[in-house]
Amino acid sequence: MSPNTIPLLPLLPFAALLSACSPGNAAAPSSSSTGSSSSQGTTGSTMGDAASDAGDPDFPVALASGPAPTPPMGWNSWNAFGCGVDESTIEGVAQTLVATGMADAGYQYVNIDDCWSFYPQTTPAAQCTPSTCRTDAGALQANPSTFPDGIAAVATDVHNLGLKLGIYGDRGTNTCAGREGSQGYETQDSQSFASWGVDYLKYDNCSADAGIIEQQYQTMSMALQATSRPIVFSICAWNFYEWELGTGQLWRTTSDIQPNWTSVLSNVMTNEVLAAYGGPNGWNDPDMLEVGNLESADSALGDIEDQSHFSLWAISDAPLIAGNDPMLMTPTTQSILTNSEVIAINQDALGLQGVTVSGDASVWAKPLNQSGARAVVLLNTSDTSAANITFQLPEIGLAGGSATVRDLVSHADLGSFQDSYTYNAIPAHGSATLKVVGAEPPRPSGTTYLSDLQWTYASNGLANHLVQKDANWSGQPITMSGTPYAKGLGVYGPSLVIYRLAPGCSSFKATVGLDDSAGAGGSVVFQVWADGQKLYDSGPVVGPSAPVQSVQVSLNNNKRLRLLVTNDNDGSTLDRADWANAQVVCP
């Protein structure tokens, strides 16, 4: 990726101090409790919600400024209503969000998806053209039979409820359902949206020229910014592209979600390998929620799957855009969607996307904005049997020793444990959603290889492969340009590895390059960040003949060191990258 296209990583300028991460008050008890817990230690201590940051100057970080400092939350019409959406549905849903507590829980955007705009009543359905579907002045217009009062009136009603209105458009000539697209009309359409009071635009990718995708999304992004209205830009291009960083506040990383477990799992896993790119004002989006819609939603299994789906989206820092019909939801669906303790892990100001830490999909972890705090989701992917799932504290980025565990679904403190924790009897497709509070890993002292230290966070760009210590991406010896290195980190781009530093740490050094196992492939960029500042950028490192590079940068009382490897804008194939001999020099 180009050195200038990644300014929106976490820990950039902050507007307001966030009070210590507090999961909030318990919501109504969930009826989808997933099992019982057991321990290797003693139980009985109460974790409580109070922050324990006293004496740790690394916490809390302040909430980022900008239009989407935490993942956007709201509701969208598509999954439940498709092209059957109309004005009374939108207004009914908005009222229901308020009445059910969803608005108070954070769901603020009410998003109208495809099929809101004018469409000729023809059989078979026609594709719009500007002359058949726009006004004489070339403006988009609402379908008078389904939105008789127009979008501005709907926006007023939604705003009067304390909520915000989202709408849908498309970069091509037509939307995916054949309505008018915005190609060539970006300025006029963005002005229409702003004048109607729209607060959020989901912008789709149908009927469009693949060769101008970046240009068209950037044209609309700039057109929105040129209106005087803040409008969140949700890019729906079904794949991640590095130019999306800084172009939108969220971007779809997957194909369309479907209301079944296979689709839920597939989307969250596709989204997971892009974790290095997610953060405040730029969120990976594995698509809207199907909580309440899953095919088995009437059964106990449906409720179990709904809870796992919601917990996985929460820990993945996914936008929480509900896709059910809130006017008809069951108490269980309502309880899952409004669980303030689970929502709190999603809305945490640190903005680090949770990732798998177990080499499979069973253990997910995410650092929280409180010293020693991690969110954990334990997922049983088995289709048939219950499972006991264990994690070690170092796996989730904590020091070994003692930690407390709280169950965020049953709202119960589970006690204090040593080194590891096991949650028993998690049913097939079920999960446990936990907050664990222990100790941050020790700070470095002296001159130390990073691979001898414990990281606080490590994401990697290949499913089921973890960042390796003193080995390349697959556990083999690190080797670059024929030279073996005994020490270092082997990653697969995109990757982000974070270490805490000590006061007075003066420099970071490493030898970086593509691992010889990348053969003729691989294309990455190495970046070193300290807090919000970029200290080093390798530029594109492209196999097979790229020379290794020596990195040496000064540190200046920084709190966190971030080692980022991007996939250089070309997908992650063979992006096997090494931070050989990576060291920090500290007092």
Six-digit token string for 196: 């109607």
Using the contact rule CB under 6 A, the part of the chain among 170-178, 211-219, 242-250, 532-540 near ligand GLA is 170-178
Using the contact rule CB under 6 A, the part of the chain among 18-26, 169-177, 192-200, 477-485 near ligand GLA is 169-177
Tell whether residue 204 is a contact of ligand GLA (CB under 6 A): yes
Name the DSSP letter for residue 461: S
Using the contact rule CB under 6 A, the part of the chain among 142-150, 173-181, 417-425, 495-503 near ligand GLA is 173-181
Tell whether residue 568 is a contact of ligand GLA (CB under 6 A): no
Mask of contacts with ligand GLA, 241-260, x by CB under 6 A?
Answer: ---------------x----
Tell whether residue 56 is a contact of ligand GLA (CB under 6 A): no
CB of 79 to ligand GLA, least distance (A): 8
Tell whether residue 114 is a contact of ligand GLA (CB under 6 A): yes
Mask of contacts with ligand GLA, 73-112, x by CB under 6 A?
Answer: -----x----------------------------------
Do the beta carbons of residue 478 and residue 470 sit within 8 Å?
yes
Complex with ligand GLA: residue 78 or 233, whichever CB lies closer: 78
Helix (H) or strand (E) holding 81: helix 78-81
Rounded Cα gap, residues 125 and 147, in angstroms = 19
Catalytic residue among 256, 419, 470, 570: 256
Complex with ligand GLA: residue 204 or 325, whichever CB lies closer: 204
- Give me the DSSP letters along 375-390: EEEEE---SS--EEEE
- Give me the DSSP letters along 241-267: -GGGBTTBSEEE-SS---SSHHHHHHH
CB of 205 to ligand GLA, least distance (A): 7
Quick one: which of 86, 87, 113, 303 contacts ligand GLA (CB under 6 A)? 113
Complex with ligand GLA: residue 83 or 158, whichever CB lies closer: 83
CB of 293 to ligand GLA, least distance (A): 14
- Residue 59's contacts (CB-CB under 8 Å, 6 or more residues apart) are 20, 51, 53, 369, 370, 371
Site for ligand GLA in 255-284 (CB under 6 A): 256
Tell whether residue 207 is a contact of ligand GLA (CB under 6 A): no
Six-digit token string for 465: 């492969």
Angle formed at CA 284 by CA 283 and CA 286, multiple of 5 degrees: 135
CB of 206 to ligand GLA, least distance (A): 7
Mask of contacts with ligand GLA, 416-435, x by CB under 6 A?
Answer: --------------------
Tell whether residue 128 is a contact of ligand GLA (CB under 6 A): no
Rounded Cα gap, residues 42 and 58, in angstroms = 29
Whether 53 is catalytic: no
Tell whether residue 200 is a contact of ligand GLA (CB under 6 A): no
Quick one: which of 68, 102, 112, 176 contacts ligand GLA (CB under 6 A)? 176
Complex with ligand GLA: residue 256 or 419, whichever CB lies closer: 256
459 closest CA partner among 564, 302, 388? 564
Burial class (CB in 10 A: 0-12, 13-18, 19+), 327: middle
Instruction: Look at residue 491 and give its three-state secondary structure.
Output: strand
575 closest CA partner among 365, 273, 284? 273
Complex with ligand GLA: residue 177 or 501, whichever CB lies closer: 177
17 closest CA partner among 65, 69, 67, 63? 63
Whether 570 is catalytic: no
The beta strand positions in 142-187, using DSSP E, are: 164-170
517 closest CA partner among 473, 466, 571? 473
Complex with ligand GLA: residue 58 or 256, whichever CB lies closer: 256
Name the DSSP letter for residue 279: B
Quick one: which of 9, 151, 165, 177 contacts ligand GLA (CB under 6 A)? 177
Complex with ligand GLA: residue 236 or 498, whichever CB lies closer: 236
Rounded Cα gap, residues 117 and 582, in angstroms = 56
Mask of contacts with ligand GLA, 222-241, x by CB under 6 A?
Answer: --------------x-----
- Give me the DSSP letters along 394-413: GGGT--SSEEEEEETTTTEE
Do the beta carbons of residue 323 and residue 290 sit within 8 Å?
yes
Catalytic residue among 49, 86, 113, 204: 204
Complex with ligand GLA: residue 284 or 370, whichever CB lies closer: 284
Tell whether residue 470 is a contact of ligand GLA (CB under 6 A): no
CB of 208 to ligand GLA, least distance (A): 12
Complex with ligand GLA: residue 35 or 178, whichever CB lies closer: 178
Backbone angles phi, psi at 104, to 5 degrees: -60, -30
Burial class (CB in 10 A: 0-12, 13-18, 19+), 328: exposed
Rounded Cα gap, residues 166 and 112, in angstroms = 6
How far, rounded to the nearest angstrom, does the alpha carbon of residue 494 sit from its chain's CA centroid?
Answer: 14
Total of chain residues touching ligand GLA, rule CB under 6 A: 9
Tell whether residue 407 is a contact of ligand GLA (CB under 6 A): no
Rounded Cα gap, residues 440 and 56, in angstroms = 9
Complex with ligand GLA: residue 33 or 89, whichever CB lies closer: 89
**Which residues form the interface with ligand GLA (CB under 6 A)?**
78, 113-114, 175-177, 204, 236, 256
Q: Please identify every residue annotated as catalytic.
A: 204, 256
